[in-house]
Amino acid sequence: MFFNLFYFSLMSIFGFVVLRHETYFPTEMGGQGKLSDYFVDYPEQKTSNLIHLYYFLNGGYLITSVYSLLISEKLPDFYENFLQHLCAIILVYFSYSQNFIRVGAIIMLCHDICEIFSSACRVFVDTRYKFITVTSFCILFTSWGFLRLYIFVKRCILPIHRNFDIFIKYLKVETCIWLIFLLLVILLMNTYWLILMAKMFIHFIMSGKTEDILTRVSEMEHIENKNKKR
């Protein structure tokens, strides 16, 4: 998890630096917010080589993450993680091949930033540094709702839907529907994880224990205890 903390911190800084001066960077994140520029001159758009590099690095990480999930011991949240990673890989491939790189890079950055604090929570959750854990969690919960739900929907999904008439000339209707479907799956998973985090916070308030509900540690301990008794 420490590697994830380091990786996503580095990638978020890199992504922010290469995207912040783009005209389509959301106003809520410090940009100009000209969302119509997502699809200006589509499909012959020119994008910075650094944004392409950002795409490749994130795509490579997703592939290694899926491989790691498959070869590692199956955690109780395996299927949720696998579904989200699989959808993300398909979206990365689709968005890059169809030149949806501009909006795709914004989606990547929104998810990368949240992963910093998710990783921080998991690094410190079993240590005596409860203040760091709780602080990281509060930032995670806030940023998750803001970036992975609000920005994701308002500044990414809705602009794609509103500009169907631009790229429908170059893509099949089925392809566009498939794109929206995958984005909605990611949105649904983000909402699901936010609900789990809310349950974790309620658990902490009631018990004072920073149990990591994202990986359901208590369930894993129960499984291990059952295996030991056999």
- Domains of the chain, by residue range, sit at 2-229
Is 105 in contact with 51 (CB distance < 8 Å)? yes
Give the Å distances, CA to CA, from 58 to 15, 70, 99, 108: 10, 19, 16, 8
CA distances from 64 to 11, 15, 50, 94, 197 (A): 16, 20, 21, 18, 25
Going residue by residue through the chain (230 aa), what tens digit of pLDDT does each one get?
Answer: 789 999 999 999 999 999 999 999 999 999 999 988 998 889 888 899 999 999 999 999 999 999 999 998 887 778 888 998 999 999 999 999 999 999 999 999 999 999 999 999 888 877 788 888 889 999 999 999 999 999 999 999 999 989 888 888 888 888 888 889 999 999 999 999 999 888 888 877 777 666 554 544 445 444 455 555 55
d(CA 72, CA 85): 15
Contact 159, 103 (CB under 8 A): yes
Indicate the length of the chain as a whole number.
230
- Kindly report the backbone phi and psi dihedral angles of residue 94, in degrees, each rounded to the nearest multiple of 5, phi listed first: -65, -50
pLDDT of residue 166: 85
Residue identified by tokens 């998750």 is 144
- Residue 201: what pLDDT? 82
pTM of the model: 0.89
Q: What is the dihedral of CA 95, 145, 192, 36, to 10 degrees?
A: -30
Alpha carbons 84 and 89: distance in angstroms, whole number = 9
